[in-house]
Structure 1
């Protein structure tokens, strides 16, 4: 039986409505527009909207004229989302660590993991009013070159990841690739450079299947050719460390009780930093990663310890 034969078209229609409204959280839509935007007949759409509203998953607002009705996401989804996060081991204490990081550095702090063989954003905390351009639950293909930070501190996971069919042709055998693994394990964190290609990479791959269309594979091949090529290594920095480097994100691993990497805590940077500024943020991030590891009952391997 194929996946198409197992699929449920009625369920897909419900998902289409919820996903559309999730992409427009500040807007409200009437029946006619919503049916048109999700490509459903009005009677079918109305039936779904009525059931979701009665269950609390949507809210129906009535206009001042008493006739016009619009729909938006409802409060039942809040409890559902929190329950889903808890099932993925995102606790209130973990959110508090992200909040501390975000407030200390006035930027976005996030928690992500590989869920069902896709990289998934589990939690995100950002300063008030900041449009981060991503949302909790967003996912990406977990295949080279995307996902190095999720396997870098786990030999078995790293080998399995490299054995996956890459989303684009890549070089994996190089001295620099070996240096990336050695230095990141020694420091306990990974720093990704901010490049025009890097900024476009995740935007292009968000929500895409691992089997990418040929056109997108070709474009990505122009952006990335070597695993770890966008990783900043302090050993390659000029003497003195006063030069500023354009940095995208700093990430640190979170481990379970088997010392296996299960999540990644990340701190968005998005600007130029000196070596000292990078190290300061990285060590602060590692403190939070270690705290979340402890919350999970986990244990940090020797190369992931905070120094």
Structure 2
């Protein structure tokens, strides 16, 4: 009987292949010759040549015969679409995101928690606007990042709060309870745009869940309370006058078990009135509801 490989055992040859693909994915519009590619990923030329030759023969890379350079190949398109389908991201998702993006001239995205990381699954940006993030980009799923992914499930909220936070936090229990109750009642979450919030996501993109102590301390100065960035209407008559700096508006997608499995979000990045926030939130919720229906799902509070 063949013994199973120990869990978590690393494969250096595979890591070299991943390094090449990751590097080229970070430079999708560029082409690299063998020498430069080997140097940029820290491999010897013979090792790099063997890998890119095999990847090119399989269609995962394209070798331009005119200048002997390499770029990503068409086989990765099929692979990416298959990966999206395995995560239940249907073509309808891109249609819904496209509708949102066009209506509000903003970037719309679909994301979910994959292997305990928040991962961008699909994205549509306005024409001519390069997106600030890319499909596949991920963030650690631990407080203070990820509230919108657990907000509609009491057990999920408790489990998320029990995770070791990525940065030192204080938690205003009363504020957080109000955030949870009001967002559930409204059906969406709107996050305020703050300098700290912008820097937080920029610093955390692609990082592991374990951050260096110095970086944890810095982030702790930027964002120190889980619910402080969530916008809550004041209930007054300021709907057409007072403006609020908003970062993102998000709504949940549920599966047939009535579990939240993804989040539809609309990137804002500027000030909106209460009425404008509500208008955008309704459309985000409509897209989330359409994708929930595609999954045969329903909200937990529906009969």
Fold-level similarity (TM above 0.5):
yes
Q: Out of 9, 16, 22, which is 1:13 matched to? A: 16
Structure-1-length-normalised TM-score: 0.94
1:100 match: 99
Quick check: 1:231 aligned with 2:230?
yes
1:38 match: 41
1:254 match: 253
Quick check: 1:61 aligned with 2:64?
yes
- Give me the whole-angstrom Cα distance separating, in 1, the residues matched to 2:176 and 2:195: 21
Show CA shifts across 1:198-223 (max 9, x none). Answer: 11111111111111111110111011
- Give me the whole-angstrom Cα distance separating, in 2, the residues matched to 1:9 and 1:228: 42
- Give me the whole-angstrom Cα distance separating, in 1, the residues matched to 2:246 and 2:138: 22
Shift of 1:13: 0.2
Task: Count residues in correspondence.
Answer: 297
SS state of the match for residue 302, structure 1?
coil
Task: Within 5 Å, give how 1:82-161 maps onto structure 2.
Answer: 82-161=81-160
2:238 match: 240
RMSD over aligned CA atoms reads 1.4
SS state of the match for residue 133, structure 1?
coil
- Give me the whole-angstrom Cα distance separating, in 2, the residues matched to 1:238 and 1:271: 21
- Give me the whole-angstrom Cα distance separating, in 2, the residues matched to 1:59 and 1:104: 37
Shift of 1:174: 2.5
SS state of the match for residue 19, structure 2?
helix
SS state of the match for residue 272, structure 1?
strand
Show CA shifts across 1:168-207 (max 9, x none). Answer: 1212243211111111001000001111111111111111
SS state of the match for residue 81, structure 2?
helix
Query: Where in structure 2 are there 5+ consecutive unaligned residues?
Result: 1-5
- Give me the whole-angstrom Cα distance separating, in 1, the residues matched to 2:246 and 2:217: 25
Shift of 1:228: 1.3
1:174 match: 173
Q: Would the aligned equivalents of 2:253 and 2:291 in 1 still touch at CA under 8 Å?
A: yes
- Give me the whole-angstrom Cα distance separating, in 2, the residues matched to 1:145 and 1:283: 25
- Give me the whole-angstrom Cα distance separating, in 1, the residues matched to 2:236 and 2:229: 17
Shift of 1:239: 3.5
Shift of 1:238: 5.4
SS state of the match for residue 196, structure 2?
helix
Q: Would the aligned equivalents of 2:168 and 2:217 in 1 still touch at CA under 8 Å?
A: no
Shift of 1:50: 0.3
Shift of 1:302: 2.6
2:3 match: none
Task: Within 5 Å, give how 1:282-293 maps onto structure 2.
Answer: 282-293=281-292
SS state of the match for residue 226, structure 2?
coil
Shift of 1:112: 0.2
SS state of the match for residue 152, structure 2?
coil
Show CA shifts across 1:59-106 (max 9, x none). Answer: 11133xxxx311000000000000000000000112111111111111
Shift of 1:240: 2.3
Kindly report structure 1 stretches of 4+ aligned residues shifted beyond 6 Å.
Answer: none
- Give me the whole-angstrom Cα distance separating, in 2, the residues matched to 1:286 and 1:279: 10
SS state of the match for residue 270, structure 1?
strand
SS state of the match for residue 248, structure 2?
strand
